[in-house]
Chain A
Amino acid sequence: MTGHVHRDDFGSRLGMWLFLVTEMVLFGGLFIGYSYMRYRYPAEFHHGGGELNATLGIINTLVLLTSSLTVVLAIVAIQRAEKKRAMAFLGTTLALGLTFLVIKGFEWGAKFHHGIYPNSHHLATMPPGEQVFFGLYFTMTGLHGVHVIVGLGLLSVMLWWVATDRVRQDRYVHLENSGLYWHLVDVIWIFLLPLFYLAA
């Protein structure tokens, strides 16, 4: 029943923005939990933040911000019909996203190494406020990590579509929407950074 040949790029973008609203509200639930718990345990959150590696957090922020820039440059390149350049920028974005995940992985690994992971014995000896801090830390950065992985999946498909000309100068709304999703991932991280790493 696909009789209607109907193309509405504005509508597609509107749909994507609405989807991003739901994503923000999804994280919003966690931010509500965070504010409530931080109000309850201010000292423990301060101390917990001090145990995170702020340098790695800031490096990761720069990595993610740069990747948002390269995705925009890829869209500009497509608008100018520069296919190779667009693919190069998309490839860079993917590489930066992977870098982010690797750094994140090292961070989590270091915490696990120190016996800090959900339900661990070591964590159980810490004050309740810090247990909640790390519970939220793993949940929120973990959910963010899942979004990075989904975003990388989307951008990989876009790279393939640019290569096979399904995304091209006169038809690039899918790339724009994937870019929007990638910016969302970026924006959420910008909130996570001060809430956890700079809380000390």
Chain B
Amino acid sequence: MSTHASTAQPSYLVDTGARKGLMAWLTTTDHKRIGLLYLYSMITFFFVGVGIGFVMRLVQLTTFQKLISAQTYNALFTVHGVIMIFLFVVPGLPAIFGNFFLPILIGAKDVSFPRLNLASWYFFVAGAILAVLSLFTGGGAPDTGWTFYAPFSLKTGTNVSLAVFAAFVLGFSSMLTGINFITTIHRLRAPGMKWFRMPLMCWALYSTAWIQLLATPIVAITLVLVILERFFGIGIFDPSKGGDPLLYQHLFWIYSHPAVYIMILPAMGAISEILPTFAKRPIFGYKAIAFSSMSIAAVGSLVWAHHMFTSGMSATANMVFSLLTMIVAVPSAIKVFNWVSTLYKGSIDFQPPLLFTLTFIFLFCIGGLTGVMQGALALNVHIHDTYFIVGHFHYVMFGGTGMALFAALLYWFPKMWGKMYSKKAIYASWFPMFIGFNMLYFGMMILGMMGMPRRYYVHLPQFHTMHVVATVGSWLLILGLVMFFGTLLYAIFKGEKAEDNPWGGVTLEWTIPSPPPLENFEEIPTITHGPYHFEQQEAK
């Protein structure tokens, strides 16, 4: 890697310490390298999850004659969920782009606790290894679904304890990252970087970090209780001992619903960074977006029981949670209106990151609106635990967080590696990805409306056509993904050298060389204005 002419510091990709090569990476405390470590490990697990999803779709190509046993199918949907949620979607954006860009965006040299940051990555890897081990040891791969619902998770002979412990360790990694980010934002902002001069990505990461802090411990203790229950039979979730399985569901969703916002808020932050750059104008409603992040974090913590409308809660509880669920859609909609308004009368420079950003907005709107549908009690009872919910959450998590992650990757790729990818190849990968995505997940929603229950091994003949459509969609989607990541991988090695500011962005990361130097800034900058200050640039 070449160093930039105007700086004495070498790029962060050059080994300067005593250790070289792989060891230098595995012992690094540089937030940028840690971000890349997360990226490489997460993309690997993402493709493992994709592979499992591919097999599950193949199973549904036939009505009764199957490639694999029913027990294996149960294990597959459990492991697909555990990998995708705990190893990719929840930690994805904060761990990769939060680590890499948070310090740069606020004008700092690193996070507050660099060694703790590396430790978080090791916790992540340890959790990932445990999760994989749980497939091959003990009583076989867990078959409970990623939600580990009691009482089945307490009674099944499969290796639930190890899988649950893996999730516990991953939660620890997530919490430590949250602590690091909050402290960094409070303590290390550059002179003049007031709260409302921070780029919106930082606001998103800040609110995410608070959810990580306040919600993750609840799932940690819940999972510990499952382990204690399995080993010692303490009886808190066991009705035969006076316990209550419904308590498990409450404790689980008290975390796992806010976790949905851990997944989506950083995605929204990245989108709020990308749009102004390509519309060449300041974001519309900066404060509204910043506050809506915080209010999503707050209201989103009070809606967990909408996962449990059919579990036998009181009618009052159902109605309260239904109302709160509808309310939480408001701050999300505020963001969508602001993003669209940012484009209005902008001078739009259409580039691959913007394409994926618009894809995010489109798919996220479908995912969000179908979410409001399910918040309505009367409808929820009918489509509960059908393919409708499976289609819905893939729209939000994959169409939302996944597409935003791809957009962020395309946006910051030239900065991270100092290379530029082939834009044509990226556009080419978008078509199969977008068409396949909608065939697969819209197909699932139609199946759900028709009455196809989720997690079923076999299906009735009337569902067959849509299952075939969805499966063909999954092939197109995977083709698009392979083309997308193939293009980027090629660009890392053989791409053309990227400029320092290829998109004409105005936030701090575009003021430093690509790839960034070791300590980010020659001199810590002094900030005199808000983050999206395009007028001044034109005046130059």
Complex contacts, B188 vs chain A, CB 8 Å: 11
Partner of A36, one of B110, B225, B247, B519: B247
A8 close to chain B: CB less than 8 A: yes
A residues less than 8 Å from B216 (CB atoms): 22
Q: Give every chain B residue within 8 A of A37 (Cβ-Cβ).
A: 236, 242-244, 247
B182 and A1: CB pair below 8 A?
no
Residue contact A118 to B233, C-beta cutoff 8 Å: yes
Enumerate chain A residues within 8 angstroms of B116, measured Cβ to Cβ: 15
Contact assessment for B241 and A135 in the assembled complex, using a CB-CB cutoff below 8 Å: yes
Q: List the A residue with the shortest CB-CB distance to B27.
A: A1
Is B213 a contact partner of A18 (Cβ separation < 8 A)? yes
- Residue of B33, B216, B234 with highest tally of chain A CB at under 10 A: B234
Residues from chain B with Cβ under 8 Å of A14 in the complex? 182-183, 186-187
Contact B112 A36 (CB under 8 A): no
Give complex CA distance A48, B17 in Å.
Answer: 61
CB of B113 within 8 A of CB of A29, answer: no
Contact mask for chain B residues 126-154; partner A; CB cutoff 8 A; 1 contact, 0 none: 00000000000000000000000000000
The reply to whether A139 and B225 contact each other, CB–CB distance below 8 Å, is yes
Assess whether B232 is interfacial by the CB under 8 Å rule.
Answer: yes
Are B232 and A128 in touch, CB under 8 angstroms? Answer: no
For B366, list chain A residues within 8 Å (CB): none
Q: Is the CB of A22 within 8 A of B112?
A: no
Q: Is A113 an interface residue (CB 8 A)?
A: no
Q: Which residues of B contact A129 (CB under 8 A)?
A: 242
Instruction: Known A11-B183, A15-B113, A25-B218; judge A4-B242 contact (CB<8 A).
Output: no
Contact residues in B for A138 (Cβ distance below 8 Å): 232, 234
Within 8 Å by CB of A29, from B30, B218, B232, lies B218
CA gap between A33 and B235 in the complex, in Å: 12
Complex alpha-carbon distance, A120 and B313, angstroms: 32
Interface contact A15-B183, CB-CB below 8 Å: yes
Bound complex: CA of A137 vs CA of B228, how far in Å?
13
Which residues of B sit under 8 angstroms from A119, Cβ to Cβ? Answer: 232-235
Fill in one digit per residue for B12-23: 1 if any A CB lies within 8 Å of its CB, else 0: 100011000000
> Mask for B181-193, Cβ within 8 A of A = 1, else 0?
0110011100000
Q: For chain B, what secondary structure do more than half of its interface residues adopt (helix, strand, loop), or is it mixed? A: helix
**Closest B residue, CB atoms, query A25:** B217
Nearest residue in A to B109 (C-beta to C-beta)? A4
CB of B220 within 8 Å of the partner chain: yes
Of A1, A2, A18, A40, the most chain B CB neighbours within 10 A belong to A1
Q: A29-B251, A33-B236 are in contact. Are A4 and B519 (CB under 8 A)?
A: yes
Which residues of the partner chain A approach B113 to less than 8 Å between Cβ atoms? 15
B-contact 0/1 string along A26-70, CB 8 Å cutoff: 111110110011001100100000000000000000000000000
Task: Give B249-294 interface residues, CB cut-off 8 Å to A.
Answer: 250-251, 254
Is the beta-carbon distance between B112 and A19 smaller than 8 angstroms? no
- Cβ of A107 within 8 Å of any chain B Cβ, yes or no, is no
- Known contacts A131-B242, A132-B243, A135-B243; A2/B29 CB under 8 A: yes
Q: How far is it, in angstroms, between the C-alpha of A11 and the C-alpha of B113 when the chains are bound?
A: 9
- Contact status A139-B182, CB under 8 Å: no
- CB-contact partner of A15 in B112, B215, B241, under 8 A: B112
- Assuming the contacts A15-B112, A21-B213, asked whether A1 and B180 have C-beta atoms less than 8 A apart, the reply is no
Contacts between the two chains (Cβ within 8 Å), count:
125
A135 with B175: in contact, given A1-B30, A14-B183, A22-B217 (CB under 8 Å)?
no
- Asked if B182 contacts A135 (CB within 8 A), the reply is no
Q: Which A residues, 150 to 194, have Cβ-Cβ distances below 8 Å to chain B?
A: none
Q: Which residues of B contact A29 (CB under 8 A)?
A: 217-218, 220-222, 251, 254
CB of B182 within 8 A of CB of A18, answer yes
Q: Are A11 and B182 in contact (CB under 8 A)?
A: no
**With known contacts A3-B518, A15-B112, A33–B251 Cβ distance under 8 A:** yes
CB pair A139–B213 under 8 Å, yes or no, is no
Q: Which residues of B contact A36 (CB under 8 A)?
A: 244, 247
Q: Which residues of B contact A118 (CB under 8 A)?
A: 228, 232-235
A191 to chain B, nearest CB (A): 15
Set of chain B residues within 8 Å of A19, measured between Cβ atoms: 179
Q: How far is the CB of B255 from chain A (nearest CB, A)?
A: 9
State whether B236 touches A132 (Cβ < 8 A): yes
In the assembled complex, the Cα of A171 lies from the Cα of B100 at a distance in Å of 30
Cβ-based interface call for A114 (8 A): no
Q: Is B214 an interface residue (CB 8 A)?
A: yes
Query: CB-defined interface of A129-147 with B at 8 Å, one 1/0 digit per residue?
Result: 1111001101100010000
Q: Which residues of B contact A33 (CB under 8 A)?
A: 225, 236, 247, 251
Across-interface contacts of B235 in A (CB, < 8 A): 118-119, 131-132, 135
Pairwise interchain contact A28-B232, C-beta atoms closer than 8 A: no
Q: How would residues 53 to 73 of chain B score, 1 for a CB under 8 Å from any chain A CB and 0 otherwise?
A: 000000000000000000000
A15 and B186 alpha carbons, distance in the complex (Å): 10
Closest residue of chain A to B251, judged by CB? Answer: A29
B28 at interface by CB-CB < 8 Å = yes
What B residues does A25 contact at CB under 8 A? Answer: 213-215, 217-218
Q: Residues of B contacting A8 with CB < 8 Å?
A: 112, 187
Shortest distance in angstroms between A129's beta carbon and chain B's nearest beta carbon? 6
**Which of B175, B232, B236, B518 lies in contact with A1, CB distance below 8 A?**
B518
Least distance between A107 CB and chain B CB atoms (Å)? 17
Q: How far is the CB of A38 from chain B (nearest CB, A)?
A: 12
Query: In the assembled complex, which residues on chain A have CB atoms less than 8 Å from the CB atom of B232?
Result: 118-119, 138
Query: Could you mark each residue 111-122 of chain B with 1 if its beta carbon is under 8 Å from any beta carbon of chain A, else 0?
Result: 011101000000
A17–B228 Cα distance when bound, in Å, is 28
Chain A residues within an 8 Å CB radius of B114:
2, 4
Nearest neighbor of A138 in chain B, beta-carbon distance:
B234
Min C-beta distance of A121 to chain B, whole Å:
12
A132-B251 contact, Cβ under 8 Å, with A18-B213, A19-B179, A139-B228: no
Does A26 lie within 8 Å of B17, measured CB to CB? no
In the complex, what's the smallest C-beta–C-beta distance from B432 to chain A, in angstroms? 40
Bound-state CA distance A10–B187 (Å) is 8
9 intermolecular pairs with C-beta atoms under 8 Å apart? A1-B29, A4-B109, A15-B112, A18-B183, A29-B222, A36-B247, A136-B236, A139-B236, A143-B224
5 A-B pairs besides A2-B29, A10-B187 with CB distance below 8 A are: A3-B519, A8-B112, A19-B179, A22-B213, A139-B225
Nearest 3 Cβ contacts at the A-B interface: A128-B242, A119-B233, A29-B221
